Amino acid sequence: MMHSSDEPSLRVPQLLARSQVVKRSWPFFLDLMVAAFGLAVFYGVLQIAKYWFSRAQPEFIVSLAPSSLPLYAFYSVVRIGLAYLLSLVFAIGYGYVAAYNERAEALMIAALDILQSIPVLSFLPGVMLAMVALFPTRQLGVELGAILLIFTGQVWNMAFSFYSSLKSLPRELGEASKIYGFSTWQRFWQLELPYGTIGLVWNSMISVAGGWFFLMACEMFVLGDRDFRLPGLGSYLQTAASADNIPAMIYGICTVVMIIVATDQLVWRPIIAWSDKFKLEQSAGTDRIDSPILHLIQNSNALLTIRKHTLAPVSERIYRQLAERQKVQRNRTANAPESAPPVWLRLSIMALVSTGVLYAAGSALMKLREVHGSQLLLIFEGAGSTFLRVNLSLLLAAAWTIPAGVAIGFNPRLARVVQPIVQVAASFPAPILFPIIILGLIKLGGGLGIGSIVLMLLGTQWYILFNVIAGAMAIPSDLREVATLFRFTQWQRWKTVILPGIFPYLVTGLVTASGGAWNASIIAEYFHLNGKTMHTLGLGAQISAASDKGQFQILLLATIVMALMVVTVNRLVWRPLYRLAETKYKLQA
């Protein structure tokens, strides 16, 4: 009996010692993973540099062998990743200046409206020809052109999101930052950027999804008499679809799905779990999003050492110097009269800018003189048709994405299950499914007019869904608990908590979805199938056809008409809703 009773007491020290060994070895294993990741990134940079600085191969022969897929996938991921990083930096800088510079705000938002309405193919001639001219003998020129084209399909919704977050920043937080003497950089880094993080994260996800959507158009296209082809998944899928190679299409689709799932688990889920700490609330939520990858990163000894001995001291020193500099600057400005740039300098800058604008406008008008009356009438008819398709797709998208987004944002457990599925669906290159959709609609008695609405819906509904999810996640748990405490009915919850809470995000989603629908029209209304060109009456079809045939005057006029229509709708509809979000539905005490 004594032996049996003493046996558990003997095992306890052994178990404790074993657990201590595991605790000590686990961070070392994490450090090895971090080091391996760093070496992999270094090797990837070397391979990309070697390829980019090789001789130019604009008409790359795309191989449909499955063994080519890993290399093609690597190239496509690098292009989309670099385009995203460029989009993130641009969106934060552009949104910040537009939100705080009252003189430039109206002009910058108008420019953003115009830019987001211009399709990717409308940027194609100028961007690609400029990059090839800069690097005529290196592959770098064509690659930079493709990255910039993907950038034009990713950046605008992120810029709108950050601008909207800054405009809806609670007033008491801004006043607190002034009381505590925050410098401009400290206010940005510790208040403004964290407040806009949730919206930026979810819009980043849909931006990357938009990059996958337009990947086929950015890696393989015709510009006049030149056929540009780059090694990548987009060109692989387009080549397989043109050749009716079903096995190659399946291999390519499976590769895309695996990359998207891996990206969701390794990148987006850790970032979403990390961004949850920036949620504005007074009481901690009971159910939080977690991520094993984030846990590994936070428990790595190497990263903790780097943060403790480099990042933390450097940031503290920067904050201290900025605070001292700001204090000195305040004393100087209090005692010195306000100084403004000389009048001659401002007039000179305005004259130079006006001269450049007038010259570009004059050149464009001279080009538009080549457009015939019948072509002009056809463009207006196509604009009306595309306008109806865009708005119908928006209504259909909003009908299901608003309730679905609120359900996902309010339920982290549901988000953990649905988020990977939504990511795959949003990032899946919808143009691959279009031949199947068209063939099915033809058998049912439909046509390309209905099919184009379906493809627009596939390309734009995610802008609304992801923004609604971000808005629902940003609603403080306090407000939801109060609604439960006072036993609000479902209608009262939507009227007093949910809709006001998600309203700024919903407006951003609708604006970017509208621009995305106009962008998607270039693929939805005109595409090649089995060696034949299928098209329907629409502005997107005319832009795609003009790009194929090198008719730059038609391309320019159709782009101008599309931009004018989008800007008009934004001014009459979306801009008043933005002002409403900034005033009535702004979260503040």
Closest CA to 210 of 163, 152, 250: 152
How far is C-alpha 230 from the geometric centre of its chain's CA atoms? 23
Q: Please tell me the least confidently modeled range out of 7-16, 359-368, 439-448.
A: 7-16
3 by Cβ neighbours in 10 Å (0-12 / 13-18 / 19+) ranks as exposed
Q: Would you state the structure tokens that stand for residue 30, as one six-digit string?
A: 């994490």
In whole angstroms, give the CA distance from residue 109 to residue 30.
Answer: 45
Q: What is the pLDDT of residue 153?
A: 81
Q: What is the pLDDT of residue 289?
A: 62
Closest CA to 547 of 214, 59, 121, 117: 121
Residue 47 has pLDDT above 50, yes or no: yes
Over residues 315-327, the mean pLDDT reads 68
Residue 409 has pLDDT above 80, yes or no: yes
The model's pLDDT over 352-387, given as tens digits with 9 standing for 90+, comes to 777 776 776 676 677 777 778 788 888 899 999 999
The model's pLDDT over 98-116, given as tens digits with 9 standing for 90+, comes to 988 888 888 888 788 778 7
Q: What is the pLDDT of residue 22?
A: 43
Q: What is the pLDDT of residue 514?
A: 86
The model's pLDDT over 146-194, given as tens digits with 9 standing for 90+, comes to 898 889 888 888 898 899 888 888 878 888 888 877 778 888 888 889 8
In whole angstroms, give the CA distance from residue 208 to residue 398.
Answer: 21
Q: Are strands 220-223 and 532-535 parallel, antiparallel or unpaired?
A: unpaired
Provide the whole-model pTM: 0.72
433 by Cβ neighbours in 10 Å (0-12 / 13-18 / 19+) ranks as middle
How far is C-alpha 69 from the geometric centre of its chain's CA atoms? 25
Q: What is the CATH number of domain 54-290+366-583?
A: 1.10.3720.10
Residue 88 has pLDDT above 80, yes or no: yes
Average pLDDT, the chain: 78
Q: Would you state the structure tokens that stand for residue 79, as one six-digit string?
A: 């292009």
- pLDDT confidence bin for 587, thresholds 50/70/90: low
Q: Would you state the structure tokens that stand for residue 109, as one six-digit string?
A: 């938002």
The model's pLDDT over 215-225, given as tens digits with 9 standing for 90+, comes to 877 887 766 66
The domain ranges of the chain are: 24-52+297-328, 54-290+366-583
Is pLDDT larger for residue 494 or for residue 60? 494
Q: Would you state the structure tokens that stand for residue 3, as one six-digit string?
A: 């032996």
DSSP helix/strand/coil, 496: helix
The model's pLDDT over 270-286, given as tens digits with 9 standing for 90+, comes to 888 888 777 765 555 54
In whole angstroms, give the CA distance from residue 202 to residue 269.
Answer: 11
Q: Are strands 226-229 and 220-223 parallel, antiparallel or unpaired?
A: antiparallel
Closest CA to 227 of 547, 553, 554, 558: 547
Q: What is the pLDDT of residue 388?
A: 92
The tokens 């608003």 sit on which residue? Answer: 402
In whole angstroms, give the CA distance from residue 581 to residue 563.
Answer: 24
In whole angstroms, give the CA distance from residue 248 to residue 236.
Answer: 8
The model's pLDDT over 480-522, given as tens digits with 9 standing for 90+, comes to 888 888 888 888 888 888 888 888 889 888 888 887 788 778 8
